[in-house]
Amino acid sequence: MVVPELRPWRAAKPRLARVANVVRPRLARVTAVTGPRVTRLARAAKPQVTRVATAKTWQYTTGAATVGLALAAVVVTAVGPWDSSGQRTAEREWAAAQEGGGGADHGSRSGTSDAAGGAPQPAPSAASVLTGLGGAANTIKSAPTGQALTGVLNPLLNDPALGARRAAAVVDVTTGKHLYGTGTHDALTPASTTKIATAVAALSALGPDHRLTTRTVYEPDTEELILVGGGDPTLTARKGSRGLADLRTLARKTAAALKQRDVRQMTLSYDTTLYAGLERHPIGVNDNLAPVTALMADEARTDGSTSGPAPRVTDPAAEATRTFADFLRDHGIRTTSPGPSKATDRADALATVSSPPLSALVERMLTNSDNDIAEALARHTAVATGERADFAGAGRAMQAQLNKLGLPLKGAVLRDGSGLNRDNRLTVDLITALLLKAADPARPALRPTLTGLPVAGFTGTLSDRYGDGAAGIVRAKTGTLTGVNALAGTVVNQDGRLLAFAFLATGTTDPTAAQTALDRAATALAACGCR
């Protein structure tokens, strides 16, 4: 019988082949390390296996499984121990020992230091997808030289497709050394690479474990049930919440609490006062962003999508509360048509649901370039730091957080968290400094800024790019507005060095050509030893 090859498998074969070529040298090294131990264990186990061979089938199976697990344990132990991120502890420590200095903190020379004296800490190795590929087993090669990188990048970045103004910076993550720069202090429109700044600011202000909570309260004096928005744009009304906070669960919990009070009919209101100011972004009505409000369900999408542009409801808070009323009705609770209100300190708490941790929200924001999450995180940064939770206050709060981290903010302007505002200004010097700060081993709370970056050829906004280039090796945040193209992230070069880069271009006329030019530059970094 001939089994037809499945279409998904056929489409995945080129990527799997590339992965196999990358993994094969590592398996060879593991075999060389563990071979003697495995041989000794096999000799010791041989008498037991011989005895098992005369036993019943189930006894043989049990014995074989035990020996197999023991062998696996030896292999894992031999190449370990492992840290919480899945990196070999010994390998990380050895790499750090090879580099006397380094790290994401670069002292007064770069203007990004926030350490109290002393040498910079060595930066950690990248996440698994960024591990140095194809390098020698026992050799860490030197970082690229600026002269060599200039020869590679200048012709690519001079592509007319990149418009009238462009800026670029490349930094070695391990040492913090600036390897390449052009227009590094020119503040240009960053488009969605703004989200890198939003991520670092929110994580530093709130912490990676912070959750956004939506709650219900009951005002006994007025017999009013209030749905209080917690600024969670991922709150869902759909079945199968997949770990998200969901209105169905909140309705069930709320109904149970009301029935304990023998309340089955009341006025229903909603409270969005966590945020202040205008809900509408300066770009106006746009499928890329819902009105920015503290209460919405499924990012106010009307087409069932979870990412990308989509039509949005005009009043997300009212729509979410009407949906909540329907769920309450399913549990025997009847309400009036909802309207806006504000919960008092006298209100009785009924029920809550909470979002995934902030680390997960940051990763989703970066991977999918989620504008709704970006604006929510900007406002939560304002709330956490005592600023007014509107567009202007969020911008001030984010810049204040970045300033606390000692980042180079000269020329920086933040008018929103998503990058949709064309008045935003960032330098490539700041963007690479943000990436280095996220790699700082002394600041693990910022790490989701790196782990959330789309993976070339595989995830998010880079899933359909780099098909013939550095797929799986480049991780970067994209940015696109009319006349603006940007790319910023990390890449492992052919010698296994982890580099941070930022490319900004303004005045572009063909977004596809500009995108291709930026991808070529990032691919050139991946292919370059450049010493």
Contacts 24+ apart (CB under 8 A), 397-405: 397/201, 397/205, 398/197, 398/198, 398/201, 398/202, 399/201, 401/200, 401/201, 401/204, 401/205, 402/197, 402/200, 402/201, 402/430, 402/434, 404/114, 404/204, 405/112, 405/114, 405/200, 405/204, 405/437
Of the residues 113, 125, 177, 195, which is catalytic? Answer: 195
253 flagged as catalytic: no
CA nearest neighbour of 215 among 224, 201, 228 = 228
Token couple for 415: 């008018």
Q: 529: helix, coil or strand?
A: coil
DSSP sequence for 422-459: TT-BB-HHHHHHHHHHHH-TT-GGGTHHHHTSPBTTTS
Q: Which amino acid is at 87?
A: Q
DSSP sequence for 37-62: HHHHHHHHHHHHHHHHHTS-HHHHHH
N- to C-terminal Cα separation, the chain: 55
125 flagged as catalytic: no
Q: Which amino acid is at 461?
A: T
Rounded CA-CA distance 369/190 in Å is 13
Of the residues 369, 418, 437, 477, which is catalytic? Answer: 369
CA nearest neighbour of 411 among 110, 186, 189 = 186
Tell me the β-bridge partners of 500. 171, 490
Give the list of residues 6+ apart from residue 421 with CB closer than 8 angstroms, or none.
Answer: 281, 282, 283, 391, 415
Q: 346: helix, coil or strand?
A: coil
Of the residues 110, 125, 192, 359, which is catalytic? Answer: 192
Residue with tokens 């023998």: 262
418 flagged as catalytic: no
Q: What are the residue numbers of the active site? A: 192, 195, 369
